[in-house]
Structure 1
Amino acid sequence: MFRQDLDPTGSPTLSALLALLPLIALLVLLGAFRWKAHWASLVALGVSLVIAVFTFSMPVGQALDAGVFGAALSVLNILWITFNAIWIYNLTVRSGHFAVLRRAFASISDDRRIQAIVIAFSFGALLEALAGGGSPVAICAVMLIAIGFDPLKAAALALIADTAPVAFGGLGNPITILGTTTGLSPDDFGAMAGRQTAILAVFVPFILIGVADGRRGLRQAWPAALTAGLTFGICQFVFSNYWSYKLCDIFAALVSAGAIILLNRVWSPGEATVATPVIAGGSEDVPDAAFERRAGRADSGGDRLKAFAPYIIIVVLFSIAQITSVKTWLTTHGVWTFAWPGLHVLGPKGKPANTAYVLNYLGATGTLLFVSGLLTLVVLRIGPLAGLRTYGKTIRQFGWAIFTILCVFALSYVMNLSGQISSLGVWLAKAGAFFAFLSPVVGWFGVTITGTDAGSNALFGNLQVTAAHQLNVSPTLFGAANTSGGVMAKMISPQNLAVGTAAVGIVGAEGTLFRRVFGWSALLLVLMCLLVWLQSTPVLGWMVP
């Protein structure tokens, strides 16, 4: 039995700095030395194992077992989701219907900057709301390539866009996890997060058109960015505060897309940047003959319906899975939970750490996406053998990205179960009143390591609430800040970088992609830190429920 010691050196600052070394190694190797993500994550994992064993006194066997446990969790939580999401996309390319989908988006506007907002921001938010994981980045990135963006820029746009909806992604799963972890009301956390991320959402479309087309894009297409950002932010605020935080992203995504469509009936940029259709390098490279036939004629209503059918199937299937009776049945009959063998960890207060492996084989996001893919085979009239071959090619296209994701999840759980993450969090909490400014940074670190906002909330939710009680500040504010701060780290977490590069066929370029998006992550994080700090003072304290 291993018991965590959050201050093994006798100096909280030194213990925290040592705990931070694996993350520093990961970010420096990616950003400064331009290492490929799989090697950077492997070195970071090695550093975390050394620190776990020689600084935090974790037995070697348990440290290695913690890494295996984390890697095993990534199979269901990330890989199973991403494989099936990209498989569905590749099926639409193979059948030729993705070209129809691209032309349908092009019919909204002939300007690819506006198309980028609709695809990456609105449609991506819908995917995040329903599926979460890496699916919005993977699917939207290849769709952006199809409207003319180069692979690196397409991946960067998809990563940046997947910020504002993350707090409520997976039908509000991060907020639900935060409520479960802290024992406080998830509705209150959802309302508070809606008063933070809704403000952030207004700025994201402006960043997208700036990345897509620089100052010219901002000068010419700002009405579209303002329309998308305002409608999304208002819907996210209203639904998270007055209806259901689980549904706010779905409605925000649909309303923002509808608002853009209505805007383009009465307005268009003075100088359009026309899309150049291409096929994504990471997808099925050669579609069947149907692609060529469709390219030469106008698309019928049936063609468009079939093109959107996979995503309609996803929306319907995930909506059905959220019905209480269905969800209960899936949870009762489709979940196998068992204690991970050989891993026996106690927290610093003697409470056993959660080392249970939950195999949700029926109701998991990836499983629902897989069923959506099977239904897509039927709707698009693709044979079982062709579907199987496409699935095999989908897995092969990820290559080293699979290794990266396994390593990063292993890193996360070595740091978590050895006490490194908690040591870092406790040290930050000693900043006193300034912790209000640092509170989102804790969530940002959590998502950088785990790759998910839900994972960050599970790790640091109680820390945030404890710090709030110590500082006589609303625990709702700090808990929500953990969620809201974490969303900016989605774009730089190694597993999401790996998903993005694999989806567009540039595996190995994770370091370059990291440098493209890190500045935006840092800028948005600073803005969130300022907002949360002001909300902890009388200046904006009225915003806290």
Structure 2
Amino acid sequence: METFVQLLEPVSGNLYLSAFVALIPILYYLVALAGFKVRGWLTGMTTMLIAMVIACVAFEMPAGFAGMAALQGIIYGILPIGWIIWMSVFLYKMTVKTGHFDIIRDSVISLTDDRRIQALLIAFSFGAFLEGAAGFGAPVAITAALLVGLGFKPLYAAGICLLANTAPVAFGAVGVPVTVMDGLGVYANGTPIPATDIAAMIGRQLPLVSIFIPFYLVATMAGFKRVFEVLPAVVVAGGSFAVSQFFSSNFMGPELPDILSALVSLVCTVALLKVWKPKTTWKFEGEPEQSVTPKSYTTGQIISAWSPFLILTISISVWTLAPVKALFKPFVIQYAVPLIHNNIVSSISQQPIAAMFKLDFIGATGTAILVAAILSKFVIGISWSDMFTVAIDTFKEIKLALLSICFVVGFAYVMNASGMTNTLGSALAATGNAFAFCSAALGWIAVFITGSDTSGNLLFGKLQQVAASRIGVDPLLAMAANASGGVTGKMISPQSIAVAAASVGLLGRESELLRFTVKHSIFLLIFVSAIVALQSTPILSWMIPAHP
């Protein structure tokens, strides 16, 4: 069987020239989507094809290998990612069909009809809870759809939810992005770096971001001056989240920071609204100054309306329990990807890379959402025929967006399998004394390409440790920076853009969404990079937890 050894410096034996060539598909994607406004699915398809050509021509990857890597990514784009999006939007559409979303909307408006605070409650706090319980696209899909139902403009709803999703990503899906790095790196004395230490270090970086995100979110929506009108809500939502994130990550491990922090933030913000209201109500331009008084509903009606999302939370939480995962394990279908399984040798580790088709339909988060939808049927009173119709109509609405997701995941898999991502990472790692500042950018690049902080940490976690050790930077700091920097790349990842666009009906307008998020992504990356750089110096080195 043919073996492909990834080349780190294939172009003239020069790392930086090779990195520039590897950067071409990414630059093309940004220019085509944001500059020339090419449709999302077409941009994704052509980006994947360009990546395949560069992989074969410049990085000397066999064409068959490139094709199989792309196919593996496309299948992953269908399950679990596409399945999550379809089911998330389907559940939301069910509540709209039965009229229960009107009650949800009025229950939120009864707390506040100020768009700034609604965004804090749903995009920031509730979105963080969903990120902690599920991850993988579900939080943005669900919260963006909820905001649109409340009357937010689709572009703002999607953009705001992508921006708000920055704070919880590193501990998403019950801490998976951190737990996958357990033992991946070693300290100077050869002791493996445990996930608990990495979680503690991230918990001394991201709370500084988390406390800032609500302020930044409101400023993005309404302008800097308007933030101070709702400053108590901003401080309570962000401050309670950040404090909880610090304590839970440092004293409880990587599994619960998002879930606990989100619950604390929600409870504290709702409690604040019981005793405080902003003096002025802010809405988007063109909306009426005075709201129509929401209808009054009984407690039972409100609970019934919210029940699909309560059931969703319980369902996803149960699905992620270790004993339940063990029950699903016998139903997982895995088989080696032809040609490429263990036949690609990494340019970093010099070890063969496993490539498996993994079909975990029963254990998928999308299936947990489907179960929640079926259970919700008996609470909200929708017929089986109407449920089926809503499901089909939802698929018709998002089918091209799902196609776009498949192509961009295929592009990511080609980048990884060909070694292009390793070349980009190594070029940044070779920046010498500037590495402490640049280490967060490695995570940013990885998450932009893969759409996942989990994948980004697997991709560059070890590279971060090796590079940091060579130049005298604490490897724990660098590995944590990979996760913390990665959260700022999630909002511009092609996968995330496609998911958000699909959830709010922005098919064909992905370029507008990317233009909305890219400047925020770069600004927040610089913010995280500055924190990491200062933590590598005596100024903030005291923030690094004690370790061997």
After TM superposition, the score normalised by the length of structure 2 is 0.93
Q: Match for residue 230 of structure 1?
A: 239
The superposition leaves residues 474-524 of structure 1 with CA deviations (integer Å, 9 ceiling, x where unpaired) of 222111111111111111111211121221112111111111111111111
Q: Is the 8 A contact 1:334 1:362 kept in 2?
A: yes
Aligned to 2:314: 316
Does residue 338 of the first structure (1) align with residue 335 of the second (2)?
yes
1:517 counterpart residue number: 517
Equivalent position of 1:207 in the other structure: 216
Q: Select the residue among 221, 246, 250 that pairs with 2:255.
A: 246
Match for residue 89 of structure 2? Answer: 86
Paired with 2:494 and 2:485, the residues of 1 have a C-alpha distance of 17
Q: Distance in 2 between matches of 1:350 and 1:464?
A: 16
1:70 positional shift:
0.9
- 1:60 has 2:58 as partner: no
Residue 32 and residue 86 in structure 1: after superposition, are their counterparts in 2 closer, same or farther (change >3 A)? same
Deviation at 1:472, TM superposition (A): 2.5
Q: Do 2:78 and 2:402's aligned partners in 1 also have CA atoms closer than 8 Å?
A: no
Deviations along 1:247-274, whole A, 9 cap, x unmatched? Answer: 1111111111111112222322111136
Q: Which amino acid aligns with 2:339?
A: G
Q: Is the 8 A contact 1:148 1:277 kept in 2?
A: no
Q: Which residue of 2 aligns with 1:142?
A: 145
Cα distance in 2 for partners of 1:88, 1:352 equals: 41
**Contact 1:228/1:259 (CA < 8 Å) preserved in 2?**
yes
- Hey, what does 2:188 align to over in structure 1? none
Contact 1:101 1:308 in 2 (8 A): yes
Q: Residue by residue, what CA displacement relative to the aligned partner does 1:321-371 show, whole Å, maximum 9, x if unpaired?
A: 34443332223x232221112223222354211201222222221221221
The answer to whether the aligner puts 1:328 opposite 2:326 as a matched pair is: yes
Aligned to 2:502: 502
Kept in 2, the 8 Å contact 1:148–1:275? The answer is no
Which residue pairs with 1:423 in the alignment? Answer: 423
Q: Kindly report which structure 2 residues correspond to 1:67-466, keeping only aligned pairs within 5 A, or say none.
A: 67-179=70-182, 181-182=184-185, 184-273=193-282, 298-331=296-329, 333-343=330-340, 344-348=343-347, 350-466=350-466
In structure 1, what residue type is equivalent to 2:228?
R
> How far apart in 1 are the matches of 2:234 and 2:98?
33
Deviations 1:209-236 (A, max 9, x none): 1222223421311221111111111111
Cα separation, partners in 2 of 1:433 and 1:248, compared to 1, 3 Å:
same
The secondary structure found in structure 2 opposite 1:77 is: helix
Q: 3-state DSSP class of the match of 1:442? A: helix
Aligned residues: 528
Contact 2:106 2:294 in 1 (8 A): no
Shift of residue 473, structure 1, vs aligned partner: 2.1
Question: Partners in 2 of 1:50 and 1:323 — Cα distance?
Answer: 42
Greater alpha carbon shift after TM alignment, 381-390 vs 414-423: 381-390
Tell me whether 497-506 or 114-123 shows the greater mean CA deviation. 497-506
For residues 421 and 405 of structure 2, the distance between their equivalents in structure 1, rounded to whole angstroms, comes to 19
CA deviations 1:277-298 (Å, max 9, x no partner) are 99xxxxxxxxxxxxxxxx9953
Task: Report the CA distance shift for 1:411/1:323 in structure 2 as closer, same or farther (over 3 A).
Answer: closer
Give the corresponding residue for 2:290: none
Alpha-carbon shift at residue 275 of structure 1 (Å): 8.7
Q: CA offsets, 1:382-406, max 9 Å, x none?
A: 2222211111111111132112111
Query: How far apart are the structure 2 equivalents of 1:461 and 1:186?
Result: 12
- In structure 2, the residue matched to 1:289 is none
Q: CA deviation at 1:276?
A: 11
For the residue of structure 1 that corresponds to 2:36, the secondary structure is coil
SS in 1 for 2:76: helix
Q: Distance in 2 between matches of 1:460 and 1:370?
A: 34
RMSD: 1.9
Counterpart residue type for residue 301 of structure 2: D
Cα shift at 1:420: 0.4
TM-score (norm 1): 0.93
Percent sequence identity is 39
Cα deviation, residue 38, structure 1: 2.0
The Cα offsets for residues 420-474 of structure 1, whole Å up to 9 and x where unpaired, read as 0011111211111211111110111111111111111121111111112212322
Q: How far apart are the structure 2 equivalents of 1:296 and 1:115?
A: 15
- Aligned to 1:253, the other structure's residue is in SS state helix
Which residue identity does 1:4 align to in structure 2?
Q
Give the whole-Å Cα distance in 2 for the aligned partners of 1:365 and 1:101: 24
Retained in 1: the 8 A contact 2:141–2:500? yes
Aligned to 2:539: 539
2:442–2:482: 8 Å Cα contact kept in structure 1? yes
| One-letter amino acid of the counterpart of residue 304, structure 2 | K
Work out whether residues 179 and 254 of structure 2, in 8 Å CA contact, stay in contact via their aligned partners in 1: no
Contact 1:399 1:507 in 2 (8 A): no
1:8 corresponds, among 1, 10, 13, to 10
Deviation, structure 1 residue 380: 1.7
| Secondary structure in 1 matching 2:359 | strand
Letter of the 2:152 counterpart: F
Asked whether the 8 Å contact 2:109–2:294 carries over to 1, the reply is no
| Partner deviation per Cα, 1:183-223 (whole Å, 9 max, x = no partner) | 63111111111111111011111122122222342131122
Contact 1:440 1:486 in 2 (8 A): yes
Q: Which amino acid aligns with 1:447?
A: V
Asked if structure 1 preserves the Cα contact closer than 8 Å seen for 2:8 and 2:422, the reply is yes
- With over 3 angstroms needed to count, the CA separation of the structure-2 counterparts of 1:15 and 1:474, relative to structure 1, is same
Q: What displacement does 1:153 show?
A: 1.1
Distance 1:212 1:146 in 2: 17
Structure 2 runs not aligned, ≥5 long: 186-191, 288-292
Q: Secondary structure at the match of 2:205?
A: helix
Letter in 2 for 1:357: F
- Please identify, of 262-271 and 235-244, the stretch whose mean Cα deviation from structure 2 is larger: 262-271
| Residue of 34, 38, 44 corresponding to 1:31 | 34
Which residue of the other structure, out of 45, 48, 56, is the alignment partner of 1:45?
48
Secondary structure in structure 1 of the residue aligned to 2:351: coil
Distance 1:350 1:451 in 2: 25
Q: 1:84 to 1:276 in 2, by over 3 A?
A: farther
